[in-house]
Amino acid sequence: MASISLGPGPARRDVLTRRIRLFVAATIAYNVVEAVVAMTAGALASSTALIGFGLDSVIEVSSAAAVAWQFSARDQAVRDGREQRTLRIIALSFFALALYVAVNAVRALTGTGEAGHSVPGIVLAGLSLAIMPFLSAAQRRAGRELGSASAVADSKQTLLCTYLSAVLLVGLLANLLLGWSWADPIAALVIAGIAVKEGRDAWQGESCCAPTPSVASASAATAAAAAPAATATATAPATDGSACGCCHA
């Protein structure tokens, strides 16, 4: 006998929606501060990687703002209708970041200037490396349970901040301790590569985590009818993101 999950009930969905709003607000607040500090420190040190990290913070704010817009709607149908547009905004944000960082990293490697040392950048990278994983994991859990591909994609945007923080920290420390100024643009290129991957995943993922209206309706009808024959033969498409991996990456 096949079992069809109807997902969380209305009360649980409300709780998860409030949690996602809270996580998104925290992400926006932190990244506004992070962007200001990173781009200021990057400009002072002529650090392409640090400026790119600050721009990622700006883009992460735009991504989180898109999710906040989606979840600002009280009606579930309206939120579901905004899902694909939100995912596209997130994906385009990743691509914009990758293009900017890659171009400036190549310019730095071809000799248009060397990056200076940046202790504030090192401190910022370490702080983000400590904070971002927890915020990302909490939002991802809520997004998966709720079945929201956009919330999961945004949590991956936040997780990318962790990867970027690690790459940035290595690049800045290599420049500071070993005098490897080329480590900064190399770190920036790694950041660009990660951004392209995550942008592609967000673009392809679309709303694979969210149950489609037809599936939800069929599930409800099956549960209401409680017909053994129909239950035995019904085969519902996977709605947990397993088909495209957006909820399990």
Q: Which of the pair, 123 or 116, is modelled with greater confidence?
A: 123
Amino acid identity of residue 210, one-letter, is A
Percent of the chain beyond pLDDT 90? Answer: 11
Dist. CA 195–CA 91, nearest whole Å:
9
**Spatial contact of 239 and 215, defined as CB atoms under 8 Å apart:** yes
Instruction: Return the CATH number of the domain spanning residue range 10-214.
Output: 1.20.1510
Cα angle 127, 17, 162; round to 5: 20
Higher pLDDT, 210 or 151: 151
Higher pLDDT, 72 or 115: 72
pLDDT of residue 147: 85
Residue 6 has pLDDT above 70, yes or no: no
Q: Is the pTM of this model over 0.75?
A: no
Domain limits, the chain: 10-214
Q: What is the pLDDT of residue 225?
A: 47
CA distances from 52 to 124, 136, 181, 186 (A): 13, 20, 16, 12
Question: Of 226 and 81, which is predicted with more confidence?
Answer: 81
User: How many Å is the Cα radius of gyration of the chain?
Assistant: 21
- Residue 208's pLDDT band, with cuts at 50, 70 and 90, is very low
pLDDT at 204 over 50: yes
Q: What is the mean pLDDT of the chain?
A: 75
Residue 20 near residue 136 (C-beta atoms within 8 A): no
